[in-house]
Amino acid sequence: MRSKITVVGAGFVGSTLVQRIAERDYADVVMFDIVPNMPQGKALDMLQAGPVLGYDTLITGTNDYADTADSDIVVITSGFPRKPGMSRDDLLKKNQEIVSQVTEQIVKYSPNTILIVVTNPLDAMAQVALKVSGFPRERVLGMAGVLDTSRFRTFIAQELNASVRDVQAYVLGGHGDTMVPLSRLCTVAGVPITELLPAERIEQIVQRTRDGGAEIVKLLGNGSAYFAPSASALQMIDSIILDKKMIMPCAIYLQGEYGLKNLFVGVPAKLGAKGLEQVIEVELQEHERTQLQKSADAVKELVEVLGI
Ligand code: APR
């Protein structure tokens, strides 16, 4: 039997993600939204792309949580996206309510699923899902680091006229203005970028990465990024569904790693069939540790506002 993946929220991120999963052809997909008929319409449209693209993925659109039963993975993308001038944190309360409701329903029908949270503000929403689900931390993951890292890699590749495939990087910390791109560990075909670019140019690229989401929000005028966010969520799904044990930065509920506790923060994580299989602790330099702590403090502030 094929695996089953549910995507909650059939908006820009959700529906693009469903399309990407469908093209993988390794799991059936349920797309849930509260808007009547809309997910059904989008699902039918995607289903009809199957013969052309050659996938047999069964795609079901629904407004009924019963259809999501026994999902192996559930991705939560439901919520309001950022508007221009709005920070991720402004979304906080609105999206807390949505993520709580969704998690409650999902858990009722799929008690053994692995949750991947995409809704912003990411780290805080992952914490909401963890608390409401009562799941162990291995089964509640937040998608942010892959996206932030991918943005960083894009800019580095552009700068050096290199292939994105040759650029390796890590962005740690919360998904916000305090994220910590580890330029020291960024390499192009094994060569550290600190040997390829002057420090101030790297700092500019780091800053552009921090503002990566806002830059797109401003350009779009209405709505936020969804092509790269959905691709990033797909990479996490790939590693879980195919049990690939890939290591990628994800928002994880830390239990003492990196000196942080009871908080979702982006760190390198090994993902496999069980969800989180290992938190990878890289040795940080003093200033990096300070930055990570600052980022964690920003997440903590949000969580305190939520009262969880
Ligand atoms: N249950 C299910 N779906 C809901 C609910 C709910 N309670 N509330 C809203 N939705 C749905 C909306 O109907 C909409 O279709 O969530 C979808 C959100 O889609 P978009 O508005 O297109 O937002 P999108 O760009 O996909 O972003 C979703 O991901 O990257 C983050 O910051 C982004 O938090 C935002 C989320």
For the chain, domain boundaries:
3-142, 145-306
Nearest-atom number in ligand 1 for the CA of 10 is 15
Indicate left, alpha or beta for 218 from its phi (over 0: left) and psi (-120 to 50: alpha). Answer: alpha
Pairing of strands 180-181, 171-172: antiparallel
pLDDT at 80 over 90: no
Nearest-atom number in ligand 1 for the CA of 13 is 26
What's the N-to-C CA distance of the chain in angstroms? 38
According to DSSP, the residues that pair with 209 across neighbouring strands are: none
Calculate the average pLDDT of the chain: 95
Tens-place pLDDT, residues 171-190: 999 887 888 989 889 999 99
pLDDT at 90 over 80: no
Tens-place pLDDT, residues 224-263: 999 999 999 999 999 999 999 999 999 999 999 999 999 9
Task: State if residue 7 touches ligand 1 by the CB under 6 angstroms criterion.
Answer: no
Task: State if residue 290 touches ligand 1 by the CB under 6 angstroms criterion.
Answer: no
CATH code of the domain occupying 3-142: 3.40.50.720
pLDDT at 84 over 80: no
Whole-number Å distance, alpha carbon 78 to ligand 1 midpoint, is 3
Q: Is 88 annotated as a binding residue?
A: yes
CA 218 – CA 242 distance, rounded (Å):
36
pLDDT at 203 over 80: yes
**What mean pLDDT comes out for the span 118-145?**
96
**In the structure, what pLDDT confidence band is assigned to residue 89 with cuts at 50, 70 and 90?**
low
**What mean pLDDT comes out for the span 77-99?**
82
Tens-place pLDDT, residues 132-149: 999 999 999 999 999 999
**In the structure, what pLDDT confidence band is assigned to residue 305 with cuts at 50, 70 and 90?**
confident
pLDDT at 112 over 90: yes
Q: Is 13 annotated as a binding residue?
A: yes
pLDDT at 34 over 80: yes
Whole-number Å distance, alpha carbon 117 to ligand 1 midpoint, is 12
Task: State if residue 20 touches ligand 1 by the CB under 6 angstroms criterion.
Answer: no
Residue bearing the CA closest to ligand 1, atom 33? 81
**In the structure, what pLDDT confidence band is assigned to residue 296 with cuts at 50, 70 and 90?**
very high
pLDDT at 88 over 70: no
pTM given for the model: 0.97
The predicted structure's pLDDT at residue 65:
98
**In the structure, what pLDDT confidence band is assigned to residue 1 with cuts at 50, 70 and 90?**
confident
Task: State if residue 34 touches ligand 1 by the CB under 6 angstroms criterion.
Answer: yes
**What mean pLDDT comes out for the span 206-214?**
93
Cα–chain-centroid distance for residue 38?
24
Residue 175 bears catalytic tag: yes
Whole-number Å distance, alpha carbon 40 to ligand 1 midpoint, is 16
Whole-number Å distance, alpha carbon 248 to ligand 1 midpoint, is 24
Task: State if residue 11 touches ligand 1 by the CB under 6 angstroms criterion.
Answer: yes
Task: State if residue 275 touches ligand 1 by the CB under 6 angstroms criterion.
Answer: no
Residue bearing the CA closest to ligand 1, atom 16? 78
Whole-number Å distance, alpha carbon 282 to ligand 1 midpoint, is 34
Pairing of strands 246-255, 261-272: antiparallel
CA 233 – CA 142 distance, rounded (Å):
9
**Catalytic choice (4, 20, 175, 300):** 175
CATH code of the domain occupying 145-306: 3.90.110.10
**In the structure, what pLDDT confidence band is assigned to residue 64 with cuts at 50, 70 and 90?**
very high
The predicted structure's pLDDT at residue 29:
98
